[in-house]
Structure 1
């Protein structure tokens, strides 16, 4: 079976940008297997729309936006897995943090952020996008990006820095 030139172009794009897109998906979902599924779904949507995407320089933004939309849709469809209880869970104690634990705590803190905050932080600090690029990707204003990133960073700081 012979492939067309756009299929080859798509394949080359996925091979070149796949690892970076997978990192973004992992930061959005917080779980490697969910990230693979999310990226696969986003790439499927991109493949189906390939002939309609005229600006090949905007492909990363298209795929990231698809990942954000899919992730939000999946999050909205999830059933409530935590139920109220009369008993409070034990409160963990915070001890001195070692080098490997900091990364785990950061991952945990990112997972606890609301979807939009997590997406803004991932796009800003992991994908190194500018505020206008984030605004276009998420479909929000630059001011909303600035306030969302600021509030998200405050939450991350309070979760990661010990109380003084």
Structure 2
């Protein structure tokens, strides 16, 4: 028979897995397999520390922090610089902004992992500078400067091509 804590964990997973996957997808620069691995690793780490997680103010924020840190750790551990040449989605993207989404993911994929993490937390997750700094173990000024540099790099990578993809 399952314990009450296991039931709580399963409810948490059911409620947060999709949001974690969306964040992982951005951190993995559109690599669906890596995103799935990141979510699985995150959820397993959260499970191991579930007693501590339930005592935290926000289990969702705790899991998000674990996800970002897992992503950065995984990038550091990779011993190969292998990158696929063609980045094709596993399935057709739905909606009128599919080309825009793929272009943005491609640009984000060219950023270093920490810059991508800063942009994800600040603009995708709409976190404050202080929250982002705490999650990434950086100073607030480092988050500001890294965020500014990363945004400038994305703008430089996209150039004028982005305006062609935005519906008028």
Moved more, 24-33 or 51-60: 51-60
Query: For residues 81 and 151 of structure 1, do their structure 2 counterparts lie closer, same or farther at Cα, with a shift above 3 Å needed?
Result: closer
d(CA) in 1 for partners of 2:117, 2:126: 12
Query: For residues 32 and 3 of structure 1, do their structure 2 counterparts lie closer, same or farther at Cα, with a shift above 3 Å needed?
Result: same
Partner SS for 1:140: coil
Q: 2:138 maps to which residue?
A: 140
Q: 1:32 maps to which residue?
A: 32
Mark the runs of 5 or more structure 2 residues left unpaired by the alignment: 83-95, 162-168
What is the CA-CA distance between 1:160 and the residue it aligns to?
1.0
The correspondence of residues 140-159 of structure 1 with structure 2, limited to 5 A, is: 140-159=138-157
Mark the runs of 5 or more structure 1 residues left unpaired by the alignment: 83-97
Q: 2:101 maps to which residue?
A: 103
Q: 2:129 maps to which residue?
A: 131
What is the CA-CA distance between 1:99 and the residue it aligns to?
5.0
What count of residue pairs does the alignment treat as equivalent? 148
Q: Is the 8 A contact 2:118 2:132 kept in 1?
A: yes
The correspondence of residues 1-164 of structure 1 with structure 2, limited to 5 A, is: 2-30=1-29, 31-81=31-81, 99-162=97-160
Larger C-alpha radius of gyration, 1 or 2? 1
Query: For residues 37 and 80 of structure 1, do their structure 2 counterparts lie closer, same or farther at Cα, with a shift above 3 Å needed?
Result: closer
Query: For residues 45 and 100 of structure 1, do their structure 2 counterparts lie closer, same or farther at Cα, with a shift above 3 Å needed?
Result: closer
* 1:64-119 CA distance string (max 9 Å, x none): 2222222222222223345xxxxxxxxxxxxxxx9543221110110111111100
d(CA) in 1 for partners of 2:155, 2:114: 17
Q: 1:94 maps to which residue?
A: none
Q: Calculate the TM-score normalised by the size of structure 1.
A: 0.82
